């Protein structure tokens, strides 16, 4: 009987090809491109309507890297499908607000009027956190 138990234990603990690759989850694997940005709003978010009439909020985040003469800023366009109070909150954010954004990223390629291929990185917001608001010069004077 003890030989049977040790055989059973060794079989039960031996990794299979499936458990070795994805032992942490039983769900199907999915391809996803996620991006995290920390930067400042380049302008106030704007509300737009899609061709189907769905409301979408678009905004731009600027991220700066480097120091001195090596300093450079990258601009990222973000779309949000927030609604209700979340939509109102996002639309109330002023330019310069420091934000942390998590989103789904995708690349879109098309040809421009001159026949040249162009690519755009699209980011759809999943999570937004406000890290700090810009100083209001009017409030400081009062």
Q: How confident is the model at residue 120 (pLDDT cuts 50, 70, 90)?
A: confident
Which residue range forms the structural domain that includes residue 118? 32-66+73-135
Domain assignment of residue 116, yes or no: yes
**Domain count along the chain:** 1
- pLDDT of 135 reads 84
Predicted confidence (pLDDT) at residue 14 exceeds the cutoff of 50:
no
Q: What is the band of 6 on the pLDDT scale with cuts at 50, 70, 90?
A: low
Q: What is the DSSP letter of 124?
A: E
Mean per-residue pLDDT, 39-59: 94
The segment with the largest mean pLDDT, out of 18-27, 47-56, 131-140, is: 47-56
Quick one: pLDDT at residue 139? 47
Q: Contact 3/10 with Cβ under 8 angstroms? A: no
CA-based end-to-end distance of the chain = 86
Predicted confidence band at 24 (pLDDT cuts at 50, 70, 90)? Answer: low
CATH number at residue 56: 2.40.50.140
Number of CB atoms found within 10 A of residue 63's CB? 13
Q: What is the pLDDT of residue 110?
A: 86
What is the pLDDT at residue 115? Answer: 93
18-to-5, 21, 92, 108, 118 alpha-carbon distances in Å: 24, 5, 48, 34, 40
């Amino acid at each position: 009987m003890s030989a049977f138990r040790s055989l059973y234990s060794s079989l039960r603990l031996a990794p299979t090809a499936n458990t070795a690759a994805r032992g942490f989850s039983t769900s199907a694997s999915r391809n996803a491109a996620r991006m995290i940005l920390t930067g400042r709003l380049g302008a106030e978010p704007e509300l737009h309507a899609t061709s189907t009439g769905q409301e979408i909020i678009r905004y731009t985040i600027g991220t700066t890297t480097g120091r001195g003469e090596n300093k450079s800023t990258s601009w990222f366009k973000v779309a949000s499908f927030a609604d209700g109070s979340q939509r109102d909150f996002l639309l109330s954010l002023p330019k310069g607000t420091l934000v942390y954004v998590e989103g789904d990223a995708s690349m879109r390629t098309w040809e421009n009027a001159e026949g040249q291929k162009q690519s755009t990185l699209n980011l759809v917001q999943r999570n937004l956190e406000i890290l700090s608001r810009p100083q209001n010069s009017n409030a400081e004077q009062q």
